[in-house]
Amino acid sequence: MGLKNEKNSRKAILQRFVIFSVEILFWQSFATGQQFSAAVYPHQIHRGYTNKDGLPPGSIEKIVCDSEGIPHVYAADTFFVLQDNGWVEETGGSRWFEVTQEVDNFFLPSIPKAGKIRQVARLGSEVVIAGENGLFGLSDGDWKLVLPRQDSIRWAPIDIRATSYDPAGLLWFACPQGVGHQIRDDQWELFTAADGLPFNDFTCMAATTNGVWFGTTNGAIRYFRKHWEFRHGKRWLIHNHINEIASGKDGTIWFATRGGVSRIEYCSLSLQDKANYYEDEIERYHLRTEFSYISPVLLKEPGNKGTAVAQSSDNDGFFNGLYLGAMSLAYEVTKKSVYKERAKRTFRALSFLSEVTQGGSNPGPLGLIARTVLPTEGPNPNLRDSPERDRRIQSKQDKLWKVIDPRWPVDKTGKWYWKSDVSVDELIGHFFGYSIYFDHICESNEEKEQVRAVIRRIIDHLLHHDLQLVDHDKQATRWSRLSPEELNSNSDNWEERGLNSWSMLTFLLIAHHITNDLKYRDEYKNLIKNHGFALNGMTQPQVISGPGSFHQGDDDMSFINYYHLLRYENDESILNNYQLGAFYHWRVEQYEKNPFFNFVYAAGCLNQKREDHWGVVDLSPTGSWLEDALDTLIRWPLDLIDWPLSNAHRIDMVSLFTHAREPGEAIGKGHRIGGYAFARDEQASTYLEDDVWQLRFDADGTQLRPATAYLLSYYLGRAHGFIPGFDHSSDKSD
């Protein structure tokens, strides 16, 4: 499929937000017949208030908003009001809570059969009580038990935790049995985990124009346009136990929690607005060294981006290769010079990793790439990554772990430590980025020759060393054995056999595409014809035993390879192998709703057919693949700080089948009823290789991640025409 060029039609300014944390809420356009386009989508911006903002430490018991939308709270026997982003004590603050107290005091002695009253809902002359013994409504001067019915199902709920009328005048209630919504008279909708209800230990609720919010003992829930959403952890809430909810006149939602007050307000962003925001964040926080490597960030103070310090990563080559691809595709679809400049900057950073290994204290063979670099003016990383550490890992974790000294040699300039023992993972990122850069950025012969030179020295290194990366100690690195002998005859490599076979073929295919040198095509065909490399990945690009199979990083690398295998190969007999392998792999991966996986597969197989002796197979992605991809992009969180989060307690969670992982490894993994992974804004995953099936994520708010995965997925989707009606309104002028 060819890429579609787009013209930069108009300019606008990206609204900058002071974002303490953000949740992406998808209004489910398809439920209302709206088509995905460049339209803006609703988002929620969260800010938390604690004793640092003037509140007393500990629990906030009550909260209410006045007619102007200003919140008032009651905590530690004191009333407080929000003024100028800080909380101050309020004299006479009790008046905001007197109406509720009067209602409670009026009804408490009059209906003993209700038991303890949790909440009272009023609509004109209608009054409903959420009671310990059930839901009671006032009718003809008497309190009668409400028995909600949906078709042939009738509930007699007890322990009613909350009740409220929504703006349409329809009654809602919440109890451990589930949630009920009165449609009219004796007609109800009744919701349990089977209908998507995430949790049921309710504490309160508030029905607003932007949906019905429920507070629980362990998270917040919103129901809107027939869809349930769950929020948990400090990305969304200052504390997970919610005591009370209040709604302001502008739709802002306020939560009184056991750890302070949370505020959620609404804004609208297009997918391009979000991309621009992420790009600004990367430029502000994630650039490292004079080469501007895109790196994760350490926050010295949890949640405070002002304390950010960019860190090196063992996979700097891999991640920067993905970023190079993203910026090259961004230029393809916008033709904005800023993206070309960023792509060129990243190409220089990546290419330096295959230059820095030459010369110095421990020179590597020509074409060896470094994992990453650190300036020698900083601490010596060899004090941490010592041979003693290697031996401990070798004896306790990985018998094939490599002991190398030094792990961080110094380059010939004396300015850089470079990390050795590079892996195939890094090669995958390098070749992916170089190929897209070559196709969409390089215009002059000089630019193309620069890429050819880098490709030649890396691929020739592999060919000269029996398809292995050889380190400065003249020995192969731990994770780079790609030869037929290693992959077809060494049982230690059985698990990586499919992925590594297709990775080596990808490197050669890209090398031939970029250099047009037939020796790379010849070696490519040799590995296919004489060593079965194309067949190796047809049914096992990695260990796949169903949705949730390990390892997520291998899935990521497989689809990175598919992008070029499916698009560069023209020989139908070879292409059929790749198509079949990708076909069966994607059928399993579709349950993750991963936009990169979906777009890559569609770019290579949409409207394609494969024929063999069994017949013809339509390879096109089926079902809601496009809606799923766009839903994930829309719900990708803007707050990419690693916060603790858990879905393990959800009642709509189904544990992953044990056969999906190694023995014992499926514990703590799960998905929603229906088989799909939890939505992107309800999980901790922000990288393509993150385990989206992990139910619990322990973190302390001290790492900020770059949004490379979103940018690559979004611009790839635009480049192939999968995101219709793309928005130029937020593009910045050159």
pLDDT tens readout for residues 470-485: 999 999 999 999 999 9
Residue 166 confidence (pLDDT): 95
Tell me how far apart the alpha carbons of residues 432 and 325 are, in angstroms, rounded to a whole number: 7
Q: Please tell me the least confidently modeled range out of 74-78, 141-145, 601-605.
A: 141-145
pLDDT-derived band at 14 (thresholds 50, 70, 90) equals: very low
Q: What is the pLDDT of residue 186?
A: 86
How high is the pLDDT of residue 145? 94
528: amino acid identity, one letter: I
Split at pLDDT 50, 70, 90, the class of 20 is: very low
Beta strands in 76-116 (DSSP E): 78-83, 86-89
Q: Which pLDDT value is given to residue 428?
A: 98
pLDDT for the residue numbered 51: 96
Reported as type and span, the H/E element at residue 200 is none
**Residue 662 pLDDT > 80:** yes
Mean pLDDT of 255-273: 95
| pLDDT for the residue numbered 110 | 60
Yes or no: say if 524 and 509 are a contact pair by the CB < 8 Å rule: yes
Q: Kindly report, residue by residue over 346-357, the tens digit of the pLDDT.
A: 999 999 999 999
Average pLDDT score over the chain? 90
Work out the pLDDT band at 525, boundaries 50, 70, 90. very high
Which tokens go with 661?
């992982």
Instruction: Show me where the domains of the chain are located.
Output: 1-40+270-312+593-734, 49-269
Matching CATH number, 49-269, of 2.130.10.10, 3.40.140.10, 3.30.450.20, 3.40.1390.30: 2.130.10.10
Instruction: State the helix-helix crossing angle for 337-352 and 316-334, rounded to 10 degrees.
Output: 160
Single-letter residue type at 642 = D
For residues 481 and 5, the model is more confident at 481
Let me know: does 476 contact 492? Beta carbons within 8 Å. no
Quick one: pLDDT at residue 733? 37
For the cut 60, the answer to whether the pLDDT of residue 101 exceeds it is no
DSSP 548: T
What pLDDT, in 10s, does the model give residues 112-154? 788 889 999 999 888 999 999 999 998 777 889 999 999 999 9
Q: How high is the pLDDT of residue 15? A: 30
Can you give the pLDDT at residue 106?
52
Distance CA 496, CA 543 (A): 8
Q: Which of 420-424, 452-456, 530-534, 725-729 has the lowest mean pLDDT?
A: 725-729
Q: Sorting pLDDT into bands at 50, 70 and 90, what band is 19?
A: very low
Q: Which of 73-82, 380-389, 544-553 has the lowest mean pLDDT?
A: 544-553
Q: Is the pLDDT of residue 7 over 50?
A: no
Of residues 722 and 108, the one with the higher pLDDT is 722
339: three-class secondary structure by DSSP: helix
- Condensed to tens digits (0 to 9), the pLDDT of residues 157-208 reads 999 999 999 999 999 999 999 999 999 888 999 999 999 999 999 999 999 9
pLDDT of residue 725: 65
